[in-house]
Structure 1
Amino acid sequence: MKISKLKYTEWLDADEMHEASKEWLSELNFIKDEHLFFEDLVTQFTSQLIAFGNFSSNKEVIDAINRSQKQNNTLIEAVKIHENELHIMVDGIDQLAEEKAYTKEHSDLIVAITEFLKEYKSLKTQLFDIVKKIKKDDKNRHLLDRK
């Protein structure tokens, strides 16, 4: 599968790579905002997370959020740098080695961002499952308290 991606990027023109970079930045910046939401969510449910009984796996999810934030910030910076170097592809000067390196970098970013988004989706699912369980337990406790 990597081979097809590599061959595919060889055919991308500068406009297509520019559009891909803009889309990546948009998506990564949105994820950056979601990370802030996750931090607030974890803060809001800290006591329940501790009392949840399975603190170690919850701590792993919190650590995963922190790692995800760092990786997201690294990818944002990499895409910004990549975008700033686009001039190599459009300056009208034949720089085959630099253009090939730029295309290779674009291909590497495709792989890195695709993998990051896959891991991020899994993390998000885990976090929402934990919050859903906490909310369900809270609701059950309130119903029992009413009786």
Structure 2
Amino acid sequence: MNKGHTQLKFIKFHNPEELHQDTLTSISHLLFKRDELDFLNELIKEYTIDLISEKTFEESKAIATALVELQKELKVLLFKVEEHKNNLQTLLDNVIVPNELEDYKDGHYKVMFETIAFNAKFKTLKKQIYGLIKEIMKMNKSKRLLN
């Protein structure tokens, strides 16, 4: 059973105001994720010397690459969600267009699905970064205890 799919089906039954609120909430969460990505970048910069050691180099390299890709993906996703929010105005004008609400809801469904997928990738990467930093901190602590 695809849990994400069930949650997304629910989105289709929202009225325009609720769709707008979903979009604003998504934008807020994505902006927070952007700040978190900046923090994670700074964290990686702080531990750069330790990250390029032989033991963690390959994992660090993969994480750094994934972080850069996630930042690019976030930028594109934020643009899409903002554009989607701006397109809501077409629903609220007094011009009646056949299937306009259904088309907007389908677009909303797709944008929210992309947002949920991004959040899952972000969470996975964040766990990897914290796990690696934790490992490095343990190695540094044991080195200090030995000296």
State whether residues 5 and 107 of structure 1, in contact with CA within 8 Å, keep that contact through their aligned partners in structure 2. Answer: no
Shift of 1:99: 2.7
Instruction: Within 5 Å, give how 1:11-90 maps onto structure 2.
Output: 11-90=13-92
Mapped to 1, the partners of 2:54 and 2:31 lie a distance apart of: 31
Q: Which runs of no fewer than 5 residues in structure 1 stay unpaired? A: none
Q: 1:88 to 1:72 in 2, by over 3 A?
A: same
Q: 1:4 to 1:127 in 2, by over 3 A?
A: closer
Shift of 1:55: 1.1
Q: Give the match for residue 105 of structure 1.
A: 107
Q: Give the match for residue 142 of structure 2.
A: 140
TM-score after normalising by structure 1: 0.91
Note the alpha carbon deviations across 1:34-71, whole angstroms, 9 max, x for none.
11111111111111001152312210111000111111
Amino acid at match of 2:108: H
Mapped to 2, the partners of 1:123 and 1:9 lie a distance apart of: 27
SS state at 2:94 partner: coil
Note the alpha carbon deviations across 1:6-45, whole angstroms, 9 max, x for none.
6433321111111111111111001101111111111111
State whether residues 88 and 95 of structure 1, in contact with CA within 8 Å, keep that contact through their aligned partners in structure 2. Answer: no
Amino acid at match of 1:100: E
Shift of 1:130: 0.4
Amino acid at match of 2:31: N
TM-score after normalising by structure 2: 0.91
Mapped to 2, the partners of 1:27 and 1:6 lie a distance apart of: 17
Q: Which runs of no fewer than 5 residues in structure 2 stay unpaired? A: none
Q: 1:126 to 1:7 in 2, by over 3 A?
A: closer
